[in-house]
Structure 1
Amino acid sequence: MKKDEISRDTVEQLIHAFNRLRYTEMKLSFPSQDWKKNEGKALMFLDDTAEGEGKMVSEISQALHVTSPFATQLLNRLDKKGLIYRRMDQDDRRIVRIFLTDEGKKTANEVKKGLNQWFFQLAAYLGGAESTQFAGLIHKMSDFLELGEKKDEKKVEK
């Protein structure tokens, strides 16, 4: 079959695979764990990006794909746990910047180690060849999604 000739069955298999993945992830992410999952993502985001200037709530909510009120609640929980601290921006006192505490950096590293362990287990399960193929397909899908975003941007510009 040529690249242009995509069967209805192939498309249905893709839909089924994505739905199964989404359903499995939803089953594994109970509401109480959503907080933990998002806390880990927030800590890793702050650890990767916040050296020096810190991050605003809007930047964190954008990175996590959550609303600003949700991000604020999440940050309040992290603050109560002593993992972050807030500081007013030196140039604009209306802006509050978020930083990791030493304990927050330590916890972010633990989250990263856990994530790396999960990927190691996935690679062991798939094997080297399938892991490489899977990574290539994910990159290709990301290229496709980014191309779609660029097409949408062009539509807006016109």
Structure 2
Amino acid sequence: MEAALGPDGPTLDQWRVLTLLSDGAGHPMTEIASHAMVPAPTLTKIVDRLVERALVYRRPDETDRRRVLVFLSDHGRARYERLAPAVTRVGDELADELGTQDAARLVELLERLRASPG
């Protein structure tokens, strides 16, 4: 996966953030941390780096000004769309290597790990 993202591309943690934000909606930090599977302080550093690279931006939530939402910038969307096919290919190659049933089982197990409270 790292090879698909390239030497100057986002890290895996950053990629998970970009993937969530690619839906075009703004997301609160708590939701992003859960999706990226990182603790809140780590996510803050990840988002700070993405902001520095102009891939994302923060904006106060219009319905709750105490909350901050993170959005994918136009530059971030272009980068995401350029890298997504290579990342998808890696996933497809892994699925081919494992076979359909084992690949589905792996996804199920990883989702269970992600959802576990520990």
Q: TM-score band, normalised by the shorter chain?
A: 0.7 to 0.9
Larger Rg: 1
C-alpha distance after superposition, 1:22-61 (max 9, x if no partner): xxxxxx9xxxxxx71101110001113x42xx11111111
How many residue pairs align between the two structures?
108
Query: Displacement of 1:69 after TM fit?
Result: 0.9
Please say if 1:47 is aligned against 2:22. yes
Question: 1:140/1:116 Cα in 2 relative to 1: closer, same or farther (>3 Å)?
Answer: closer
One-letter amino acid of the structure 2 residue matched with residue 71 of structure 1: L
1:77 corresponding residue in structure 2 = 49
Are positions 1:110 and 2:85 aligned together?
Answer: no
**Structure 1 residues without counterparts, runs of 5 or longer:** 1-27, 29-34, 150-158
**TM-score (normalised: structure 1):** 0.57
Query: How far did 1:105 drift?
Result: 1.0
Q: Aligned in 2, Cα 1:95/1:103: closer, same or farther, shift over 3 Å?
A: same
Counterpart CA distance in 2 for 1:36 and 1:91 is 32
- Residue identity over aligned pairs, in percent, reads 27
Range moving further from structure 2, 76-85 or 112-121: 112-121
Q: Which residue number in structure 2 is paired with residue 62 of structure 1?
A: 34
Q: Which runs of 5+ in 2 are unaligned?
A: 4-9
Normalising by structure 2, what TM-score?
Answer: 0.74
Kindly indicate which of the two structures has a greater share of residues assigned to helix: 1
- After the TM superposition, which parts of structure 1 deviate over 6 Å for at least 4 consecutive aligned residues? none
CA contact (8 A) 2:28 2:70 kept: yes
Higher relative contact order (CA 8 A, sep 6+): 2
